[in-house]
Chain A
Amino acid sequence: MNLKLNALVVDDSRVMRGMVMETLRKTGLADFHFVEAEDGYDALNKMATNSIHIAFVDWNMPNMTGIDFVRAGRANALRNDEDPVPMVMVTSEKTMGKIQEALDEAGAEGFISKPFTADEMKRKVTKAVEKALAVQLRKLRHRRDAEADAEPKSKLFGRLFG
């Protein structure tokens, strides 16, 4: 089964968004389809209007920071009784306090400091990508099972009323 991951890349720098996307492609971890956002507010809007499976988020951005977006995204998911989208911080921040704030308090799935190589990116985002793929796979199986359940009934209806 060829799974495509819709990945939201959030950074106020267009160049950095390009670097993150190119590096993720190089990791070969998944077949990524990218959606870009310029700040936290833009990212929340893109999350609401696109089916996003994983997000890669800068920390320091105007309007709404990445960490506030991660908190808001998780809160929205919990409120709607949905699986939270795995979010990975991709940031120039690198102090232990910021790493703990992202991973332990805000609930980010991973943390990678800029600058990064494809190998570092692969090592640090594999867990989050695998989690996103597992959620995707579970949803697809659930949908396939639901379709399989519905099929005999439609055939029966066809025989009775067709």
Chain B
Amino acid sequence: MLATPSLESTFPPAITEAATAGVEITLTSILGERPTRIVPADAPPDGAMLAGIISFIGEIKWSLTLMVTEPVGVALVEKFCGFAIPFDSDDMADAVGEVANVIAGEVTLQLEKRRMRGRMSLPTVVRGQALQLIANRSAASHRVAYRLSFGDFSVRLLAAGTSLFARQIS
């Protein structure tokens, strides 16, 4: 009997490469520190979280979601903006959306370098406790986790044509 390929492995590898390069180049530029890839945890982190989501239209429709906890969000945004912003403020959601937007700009460039297209959307930001993105069972997706000196964060890539929704674990 043939094994069914895992959906993680069905997400287009070239897009995964472009997306992870975009995340790593952008955050290294903002933070002066290169994020290190780690094995993604099975359960979402506890506590308040923000997710910045950008969609791309190119060879396929897909989205990139940047998910940060409070300590990572606060430190990342302070480096990005040059001033501190409280995590529960509207400005913090705005800033996380902007970070996702800047990452998306670099991803678009990385796609172009790989001879692919990717027109990006405006960012959408979701706020909640222990956020977990639940993809449709048939959705090709890929999750990458990173470690920085001030905490861990993750990025989720998800092919469109499927539903995406955030579940808040209480």
Contact = CB atoms under 8 A, between A and B. Distances in A.
Interface of A: 12-16, 18-19, 22, 60-62, 91-97, 113-115
Contact of A60 (B29, B30, B101): B101
Interface in B88-106: 91, 94-95, 97-98, 101-102, 104-106
A60 B97 CA distance: 12
B80 A115 contact: yes
16 contacts: A13-B94, A13-B95, A13-B98, A14-B91, A14-B94, A15-B85, A15-B91, A15-B98, A22-B83, A60-B120, A92-B105, A92-B106, A114-B101, A114-B102, A114-B105, A115-B102
A113 B94 CA distance: 18
Contacts, number: 53
B122 A12 contact: yes
The 9 closest A-B pairs by CB, nearest first: A92-B105, A15-B95, A92-B102, A15-B94, A114-B102, A92-B101, A13-B98, A94-B109, A95-B112
Interface of B: 26, 29-30, 80-83, 85, 91, 94-95, 97-98, 101-102, 104-106, 108-109, 112, 120, 122
Given A62-B122, A115-B26, A91 B105 contact: yes
A13 B109 CA distance: 22
Nearest to B103: A92
Contacts of B109: 94-95
Nearest to A58: B101
Contacts of A93: 105, 108
B86 to A, nearest CB: 12
B91 A19 contact: no
A49 B105 CA distance: 33
A60 B108 contact: no
Nearest to A22: B82
Contacts of B95: 13, 15
A48 B47 CA distance: 47
A97 B119 CA distance: 12
A113 B98 contact: no
Contacts of B106: 92, 94
A58 B106 CA distance: 15
Contacts of A95: 108-109, 112
A16 B85 CA distance: 13
Given A60-B120, A61-B122, 6 more contacts: A14-B91, A93-B108, A94-B106, A95-B108, A95-B112, A114-B102
A60 B122 contact: yes
B81 A15 contact: yes
